[in-house]
């Protein structure tokens, strides 16, 4: 007698396992980091029911769409230990980076302006035992609260590149890098950003495919030193 087909829950579990395998083939991690990431995603799925942390349509591809996309930053900056993540939201890339940093003595500062999401991020750090600090703040108004010695500044799906560069510029010390995860409109965003900022960006195609890119900056200067950080058309 033929076995009955798996339930939708079992099918979802299988799909997520396959997605995880595909993600870790792209961005391998140790067993310890994998265990931390498992704990983080379990928590995320629990909280997702009451707090919208990621787009519901991406839940079956949590590993490839979100985890691997975040982990690729570690591959691009393997020596980085002090990270600052703008607008951490559901924890991508900030919590993923923190999970990876637990083994190497690093630390991630996560900046989030929504209290519920900041609470989730604190719980995620606790549950995973990962090194990080959560700052409940609006990115643009609290620069003095952020660490002054940073190796890398990150952001994903937070703001246009032009604005992200403005947020990052005061924090870019000697040796600091910025790695911003961007989508298919990256060229248009770069064109806009160069109206206000002197930058020499390096573009890395996302390891997860699609039309994703990582914008890599190691120096930011203003085009006009007397200009505001905000573009003229944004001022009122």
Residues at the binding site for S-adenosyl-L-methionine are: 87, 92, 156
Q: Look up tokens 């190796």; give the residue.
A: 151
- Bridge partners of residue 136, in order along the sequence: 112
Backbone angles phi, psi at 128, to 5 degrees: -90, -10
Q: Look up tokens 């924090």; give the residue.
A: 171
Binding-site positions: 87, 92, 156
CB 132 within 8 A of CB 99: no
Q: Look up tokens 């939708």; give the residue.
A: 8
Kind of pairing between the strands at 197-198 and 213-217? unpaired
Which residues, 6+ apart, have CB-to-CB distance to 186 below 8 Å? Answer: 161, 203, 213, 215
Tokens describing residue 198: 């002197």
Backbone angles phi, psi at 185, to 5 degrees: -90, 20
Tokens describing residue 30: 């140790």
Which residues, 6+ apart, have CB-to-CB distance to 150 below 8 Å? Answer: 82, 83, 84, 171, 173, 176
């Amino acid at each position: 007698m033929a076995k009955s087909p798996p339930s939708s829950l079992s099918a979802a579990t299988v799909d997520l396992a396959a997605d995880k395998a595909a993600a870790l083939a792209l961005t391998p991690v140790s067993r310890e980091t994998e265990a931390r990431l498992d704990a983080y995603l379990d928590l995320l799925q629990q909280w997702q029911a009451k707090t919208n942390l990621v787009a519901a349509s991406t839940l079956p591809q949590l590993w490839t769409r979100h985890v691997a996309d975040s982990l690729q930053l570690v591959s691009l900056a393997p020596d980085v230990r002090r990270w600052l993540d703008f607008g951490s939201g559901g924890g991508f890339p900030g919590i993923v980076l923190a999970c990876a940093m637990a083994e190497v003595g690093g630390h991630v500062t996560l900046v989030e302006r929504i209290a519920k999401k900041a609470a989730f991020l604190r719980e995620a750090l606790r549950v995973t035992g990962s090194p990080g600090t959560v700052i409940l703040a609006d990115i643009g108004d609290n620069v003095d609260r952020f660490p002054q010695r940073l190796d890398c500044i990150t952001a994903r799906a937070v703001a246009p590149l032009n604005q992200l560069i403005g947020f990052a510029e005061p924090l870019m010390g000697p040796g600091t890098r910025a790695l911003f995860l961007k989508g298919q409109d990256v060229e248009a965003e770069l064109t806009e950003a160069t109206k206000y900022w002197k930058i020499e960006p390096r573009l890395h195609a996302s390891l997860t495919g699609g039309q994703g890119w990582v914008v890599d900056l190691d120096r930011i200067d203003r085009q006009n030193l007397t200009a505001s950080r905000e573009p003229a058309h944004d001022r009122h």
